Amino acid sequence: MTDDLTNLSFEDALAELEAIVRQLEVGQLRLEDAITSYERGAALRQYCQKKLDEAEARVQAIVQRADGTLEAKPMD
């Protein structure tokens, strides 16, 4: 289930999660759909959490080599 999530942006995943939450809260879903939705929602939440956990402050400076290619070097 997480396979099709990797292409999803955090924002889209969050929006879908929100939509699922609202659907579930209205309580109009069929039971089977509700469970499927919940599973999807849980996967989305996990994916979003992972995205948030990936936070890493890494600052690099671009250096242009003589041949025009770029290189990123850590900054102090």
Partner 1 sequence: MDEQFPDSGPIMGGNTPEFSVSEISGAIRRTLEGTFGRIRVRGEITEFKRYPSGHLYFSLKDEGGKLSSVVWRGTVSRLGLKPENGLEVIATGKISAYGERSSYQMVIDRLEYAGEGALLARIERLRLRLAAEGLFDAGRKRALPFLPRVIGVVTSAQGAVLHDIRTTIARRFPLPVLVWPVPVQGEGAAERIAHAIAGFDAVDGRGSVPRPDVLIVARGGGSLEDLMAFNDEVVLRAVAACHIPLISAVGHETDTTLIDFVSDCRAPTPTAAAEMAVPVRMELEAGLTQREARLRSGLARSLQLARARLDRAAASLPDLPAVVEGARRRLDDRSYRLDLALPTHMRHLRASLRSASDRLPAPQMILALRRADLARVDTACLQAMTAYINRREATLGSLRVPPAVLVSQLRACASRLAGEGGRLASLSPQAVLERGYVLVTDRKGKPLSQAAQARRAAQVVLTFADGKVAARPLPSGEAAQQILDL
- List contacts with partner 1 (CB under 8 A): 9-11, 14, 17-18, 20-21, 23-25, 27, 29, 31, 34-35, 37-38, 41-42, 45, 48-49, 51-52, 55-62, 64, 69-72, 75
Q: CA-CA distance, 22 to 45, in Å (whole number)?
A: 14
Q: CA-CA distance, 44 to 52, in Å (whole number)?
A: 12
Is 52 or 66 the residue whose CB approaches partner 1 more closely? 52
- DSSP letter string, 14-25: HHHHHHHHHHHH
Phi then psi dihedrals of residue 17, to 5 deg: -60, -45
CB of 37 to partner 1, least distance (A): 8
CB of 4 to partner 1, least distance (A): 19
